């Protein structure tokens, strides 16, 4: 899967915005979007929130987990544990990127948040690489990883499966057997 | 007619329509266009953008598009001529004109239906009263009615005589009225000058609608600075407008003071600066910048050997080693850069340059990018008039328009390099003109013609560059000549425009005085001269003083 596709899926997540216009309830295929009244917070999917912000029609409110202290705790916990800890949102990386790109003026301490999220991501990717490395070395057939998000799976997914495929082919060709055939020119 | 409520009478009218934007080729118009485009994008208004650089292009664009559009917005063009007569539009087309050229043509002012002017009324416009210029046609009919009455049988002889007296009185009054009208119109249209920047007018519109952003404020600042760099407005007006913009800047940018809640470093900040007037000095070396800024080069007389010695004395006076000063500004020693502005100002006043610092604004985003408003003006102007590749004019316009967005830093840097080349070329041309006495005093004005073989003369085939060159030339000439009378004369500069066709572009600028009101009479003068010499001229540029 492309990272862009993962981001597309992440854009369905709901965030809170405060609009400055009024509109009645709209009924879309994916769901209803509640009535918009100026000054009253309303939950909308991320794609709509970003579009409205670009057109200066709303103010974005960061999700509750996007706070410097909470993210610091999460980062510290991630560093302590050997396995993956649960993340505040299954799409935390995409949400951070999109919100900090388009609405960094409504998010306090945006630079710190960016650094903290990147630190957490780096720790988790390092753990993933370690785990994939030991999996390959010990030639295990089965592994279980909890609490991974889609974006992280994407970084190693394709590569890991293709590499294992190649290794399997190489291994089967090592064993001399009736199934091994010599190549014809 | 003048619009009083821009929001109701302009924006809400066009927000549901398709609009054609006709934008003139100068940096102020580009900035106003950017602000308007941002507003249109917020509200999904369909528009077409056509850059025009002269009356001919305006007419062609209008003829091409007049069937598809009913609403036309003209930026920095069209206010100073009778638009309806030139374009001959249908009854139901409307023109919104946001133009800095003054005086506004009286037909445009008094037309109630088709022409709407987006102009601030507090500019001193001095428009003649309606009755002084336009007269109802009915009075003529009364006259003719009376005449037919008067040709009745001569029995009523006394009344006949009275009728004759009345008629002659009326005719005399009419002649007096017409003479007064001609005088009033002549006084009104004699001098050309500029009003408030269009970019500032557009920013005000955005502010009224509460849709103003820091980005739009920056474009308004660049538009105003363009007027100052091109010497189009008086110093007082510039300072007043800076004050207005300063209020907006503090409103948008006060969060930077607060340490707790300060914005991300990527957000754009605008700061007020009382900075040096040296062109592009933060992106160049201090030495080059001093040599190539008109103010310093003219005061120090850098075209002569004496001048070069004085420049070195200047640096010695400040205690800046020549090696440091010739380096890129960003690589200069930090200890030297710390009090640079105050040091330069002190030394400069010893050498006769009292106004080396000017009030302006700077923009700051990311860790590396800091620009002064005048830097952006020079970069955008040189991108717009780039002659390096033979592209059609619209490509250059679009590139210049793009360079105003913060995401197109590579174009901005390209513009800065081109601006450096342009400034160097201007200084070299000015130096050679003064040293070889090419500026000739021709009675009531000074005259200079750039030959075809002059290096970089191709750069000056565009109006804005040529205007800049003429202003620098006049300032330098005034500093170099000892003839008191010559110091007060206006200047005309001519340069070849198209070598194959043998055409020449001419620019006239008013004399250089401390307190000039920047009024330019060359528009009318060129027209009269063209008539009397029967030469083939094309009064193509929106600025009447360029031909």
Residues B10-68 have pLDDT tens digits of 898 888 889 999 999 889 999 999 999 999 998 899 999 999 888 888 888 999 988 88
Q: Which token pair is B337?
A: 């850069």
Rounded distance, CA B441 to CA B491, Å? Answer: 9
CA angle centred on B446, ends B299 and B382, rounded to 5°: 60
Rounded distance, CA B202 to CA B196, Å? Answer: 11
- By C-alpha distance, the chain B residue nearest A108 is B261
Rounded distance, CA B437 to CA B446, Å? Answer: 12
Rounded distance, CA A59 to CA A39, Å? Answer: 9
Q: Which token pair is A141?
A: 């057939």
The CATH classification number of A1-61 equals: 3.40.5.50
Query: Is A71:A118 a contact under the CB 8 Å cutoff?
Result: no
Cβ contact (<8 Å) for A105 and B263?
A: yes
Alpha-carbon distance B261 to nearest alpha carbon in chain A (angstroms): 6
Task: Using the structure block, give the residue that is written with the tokens 């005034």.
Answer: B478
Chain B residues whose CB is inside 8 A of the A57 CB are 42
Q: Is B256 exposed, middle or buried (0-12, 13-18, 19+ CB in 10 A)?
A: middle
**Helices marked H in B404-437:** 409-435
Segment A41-92, tens digit of pLDDT: 999 999 999 999 988 899 999 999 998 899 999 999 999 988 888 888 889 9
Do the strands B357-365 and B269-276 form a parallel or antiparallel pair, or are they unpaired?
A: antiparallel
Rounded distance, CA B349 to CA B211, Å? Answer: 44
**Nearby residues of B111 by Cβ (< 8 Å), 6 or more positions away:** B1, B84
pLDDT at residue number B242: 93
Mutate to test the interface with B, among A51, A62, A105 (most CBs of B within 10 A): A105
Cβ contact (<8 Å) for A105 and B264?
A: yes
Which of B464, B507, B534, B537 shows the shortest CA–CA distance to B192? B507
Which of B200, B282, B198, B197 shows the shortest CA–CA distance to B249? B200
Mutate to test the interface with B, among A38, A52, A56, A116 (most CBs of B within 10 A): A56
Interface of B with A in 16-55 (CB under 8 A): 41-43
Beta bridge partners of B115: B95
Interface of A with B in 91-150 (CB under 8 A): 100, 104-105, 107-108, 110-111, 114
Query: Is B469:B426 a contact under the CB 8 Å cutoff?
Result: yes
Cβ contact (<8 Å) for B264 and A56?
A: no
Q: Is the dihedral of CA B215, B239, B465, B326 positive or negative?
A: negative
ipTM at complex level: 0.81
Backbone angles phi, psi at B364, to 5 degrees: -145, 120
Instruction: Say yes or no: B63 contacts chain A, CB-CB below 8 A.
Output: no
Nearest to A56 among B42, B261, B265 (CB): B42
How is B366-408 classified by DSSP, letter by letter?
TTTEEEEHHHHHHHHHHHHT--SS---HHHHHHHHHHHTSTT-
3-state helix, strand, coil in chain B (%, to 5): 55, 15, 35
Q: Is the dihedral of CA B192, B197, B199, B201 positive or negative?
A: negative
Alpha-carbon distance A65 to nearest alpha carbon in chain B (angstroms): 18
Q: Is B174 exposed, middle or buried (0-12, 13-18, 19+ CB in 10 A)?
A: middle
Cβ contact (<8 Å) for B267 and A105?
A: yes
Q: Which token pair is B109?
A: 């002012």
Q: What percent of chain A has pLDDT over 90?
A: 41
Backbone angles phi, psi at B357, to 5 degrees: -110, 145
Rounded distance, CA A38 to CA B205, Å? Answer: 22
Segment A9-37, tens digit of pLDDT: 999 999 999 999 999 999 989 888 889 99
Chain A residues whose CB is inside 8 A of the B254 CB are none
Beta bridge partners of B21: B49, B73
Nearest to B264 among A56, A57, A110 (CB): A110
Rounded distance, CA A60 to CA A18, Å? Answer: 7
Task: Using the structure block, give the residue that is written with the tokens 């003209």.
Answer: B74
- By C-alpha distance, the chain A residue nearest B214 is A105
Q: Is the dihedral of CA B123, B127, B129, B134 positive or negative?
A: negative
E runs forming strands in B248-376: 269-276, 357-365, 369-372
Rounded distance, CA A64 to CA A68, Å? Answer: 10
Mutate to test the interface with A, among B15, B37, B264 (most CBs of A within 10 A): B264
Do the strands A42-45 and A58-61 form a parallel or antiparallel pair, or are they unpaired?
A: unpaired
Query: Where is B31: in which H helix or E strand?
Result: helix B27-42
The two domains A1-61 and A65-172 share their CATH topology (first three levels equal): no
Query: Is B415:B380 a contact under the CB 8 Å cutoff?
Result: yes
The number of CA neighbours under 13 Å toward the Cβ of B546 is: 21
CB pairs under 8 A between A and B: 23
Rounded distance, CA B309 to CA B302, Å? Answer: 9
CATH fold label, A65-172 = Methane Monooxygenase Hydroxylase; Chain G, domain 1 (1.20.58)
In chain A, where are the structural domains located?
A: 1-61, 65-172
Interface of B with A in 166-225 (CB under 8 A): 211, 213
Alpha-carbon distance B202 to nearest alpha carbon in chain A (angstroms): 17
pLDDT at residue number B149: 45
Q: By three-state DSSP, how is residue A154 classified?
A: helix
Cβ contact (<8 Å) for A56 and B211?
A: yes
Terminal-to-terminal C-alpha distance of chain B: 29
E runs forming strands in B160-319: 193-194, 269-276
Residue pLDDT tens, chain B, 547 long: 888 888 888 898 888 889 999 999 889 999 999 999 999 998 899 999 999 888 888 888 999 988 888 899 999 988 888 888 888 888 888 999 998 888 888 888 888 888 888 888 766 677 777 777 776 654 444 444 444 444 445 556 778 888 889 989 999 988 988 888 888 888 888 888 888 899 999 999 999 988 888 899 999 999 999 999 988 888 888 999 999 999 999 998 877 666 556 677 778 889 898 888 888 888 888 888 888 888 888 888 888 888 889 888 888 888 888 888 888 888 888 888 888 888 888 888 888 888 888 899 999 888 888 899 999 999 999 998 887 776 677 888 888 899 998 888 899 999 999 999 999 999 888 888 888 888 888 778 888 888 877 777 888 888 888 888 888 888 888 888 777 777 778 888 888 877 777 777 777 787 776 555 666 777 777 777 777 766 666 666 666 666 6
Using the 8-state DSSP alphabet, how is residue B304 labeled? S
Residue A153: other Cβ atoms inside 10 A:
15
Bond before B103 cis per omega within 30 degrees:
yes
Do the strands B94-98 and B115-117 form a parallel or antiparallel pair, or are they unpaired?
A: parallel
Instruction: Say yes or no: A155 contacts chain B, CB-CB below 8 A.
Output: no
pLDDT at residue number B151: 45
Cβ contact (<8 Å) for B41 and A55?
A: yes
């Amino acid at each position: 899967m492309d990272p862009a596709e993962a981001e597309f899926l992440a854009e369905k997540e709901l965030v809170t915005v405060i609009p400055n216009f009024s509109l009645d309830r709209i009924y879309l295929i994916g769901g209803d979007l509640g009535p918009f009244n100026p000054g009253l917070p309303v939950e909308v999917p991320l794609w709509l929130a970003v579009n409205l912000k670009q057109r200066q029609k709303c103010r974005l409110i960061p999700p509750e987990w996007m706070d410097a202290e909470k993210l610091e705790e999460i980062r510290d916990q991630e560093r302590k544990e050997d396995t993956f800890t649960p993340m505040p949102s299954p799409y935390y990386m995409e949400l951070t990127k999109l919100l900090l790109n388009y609405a960094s003026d409504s998010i306090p301490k945006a630079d710190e948040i960016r650094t903290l999220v990147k630190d957490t991501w780096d720790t988790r990717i390092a753990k993933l690489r370690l785990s994939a490395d030991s999996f390959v070395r010990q030639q295990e057939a089965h592994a279980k990883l909890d609490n991974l998000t889609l974006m992280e799976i994407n970084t190693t997914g394709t590569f890991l499966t293709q590499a294992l495929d190649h290794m399997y082919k190489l291994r089967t060709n090592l064993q001399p057997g009736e199934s091994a055939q010599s190549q014809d020119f | 007619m003048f619009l009083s409520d821009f929001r109701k009478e302009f924006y809400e009218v066009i927000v549901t329509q398709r609009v054609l934007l006709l934008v003139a080729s100068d940096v102020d118009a580009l900035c106003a266009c950017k602000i308007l485009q941002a507003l249109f994008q917020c509200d999904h208004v369909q528009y077409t953008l056509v850059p025009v650089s002269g009356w001919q292009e305006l007419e062609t664009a209008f003829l091409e598009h007049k069937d598809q559009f009913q609403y036309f917005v003209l930026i920095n063009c069209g206010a100073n001529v009778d638009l309806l007569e030139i374009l001959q539009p249908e009854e139901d087309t409307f023109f919104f004109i946001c133009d800095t050229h003054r005086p506004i043509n009286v037909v445009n002012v008094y037309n109630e239906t088709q022409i709407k002017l987006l102009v601030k009324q507090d500019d001193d416009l001095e428009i003649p009263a309606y009755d002084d210029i336009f007269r109802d046609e009915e009075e003529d009919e009364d006259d003719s009615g009376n005449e037919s009455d008067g040709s009745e049988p001569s029995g009523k002889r006394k009344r006949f005589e009275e009728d004759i007296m009345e008629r002659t009185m009326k005719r005399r009054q009419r002649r007096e009225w017409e003479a007064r009208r001609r005088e009033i119109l002549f006084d009104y249209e004699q001098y050309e000058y500029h009003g408030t920047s269009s970019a500032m007018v557009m920013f005000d519109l955005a502010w009224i609608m509460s849709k103003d952003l820091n980005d739009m404020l920056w474009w308004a600042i660049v538009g105003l600075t363009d007027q100052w760099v091109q010497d189009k407005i008086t110093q007082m007006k510039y300072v007043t407008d800076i004050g207005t913009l300063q209020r907006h800047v503090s409103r948008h940018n006060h969060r930077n003071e607060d340490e707790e809640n300060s914005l991300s470093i990527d957000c754009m900040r605008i700061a007020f600066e009382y900075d040096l007037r040296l062109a592009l000095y933060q992106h160049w070396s201090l030495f080059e910048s001093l040599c190539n800024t008109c103010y310093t080069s003219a005061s120090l007389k850098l075209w002569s050997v004496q001048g070069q010695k004085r420049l070195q004395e200047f640096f010695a006076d400040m205690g800046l080693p020549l090696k440091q000063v010739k380096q890129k500004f960003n690589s200069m020693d930090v200890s030297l850069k710390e009090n640079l502005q105050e040091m330069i100002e002190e030394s400069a006043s010893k050498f006769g340059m009292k106004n080396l610092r000017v009030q302006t604004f700077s923009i700051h985003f990311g860790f590396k990018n800091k620009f002064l408003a005048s830097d952006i003006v020079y970069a955008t102007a040189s991108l717009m008039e780039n002659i390096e590749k033979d592209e059609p004019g619209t490509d250059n316009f679009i590139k210049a328009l793009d360079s105003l967005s913060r995401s197109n830093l590579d174009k901005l840097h390209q513009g800065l390099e081109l601006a450096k080349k342009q400034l160097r070329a201007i200084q070299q041309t000015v130096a050679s003109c003064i040293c070889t006495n090419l500026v000739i005093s021709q009675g009531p004005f000074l005259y200079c013609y750039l030959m075809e073989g002059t290096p970089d003369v191709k750069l000056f085939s565009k109006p804005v560059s040529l205007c800049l060159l003429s202003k620098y030339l006049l300032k330098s000439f005034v500093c170099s000549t000892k003839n008191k009378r010559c110091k007060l004369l206006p200047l005309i500069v001519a340069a070849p425009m198209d070598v194959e066709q043998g055409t020449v572009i001419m620019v006239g600028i008013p004399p250089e005085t401390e307190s000039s009101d920047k009024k330019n009479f060359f528009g009318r003068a060129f027209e009269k001269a063209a008539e009397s010499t029967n030469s083939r001229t094309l009064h193509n540029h929106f600025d009447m003083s360029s031909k």
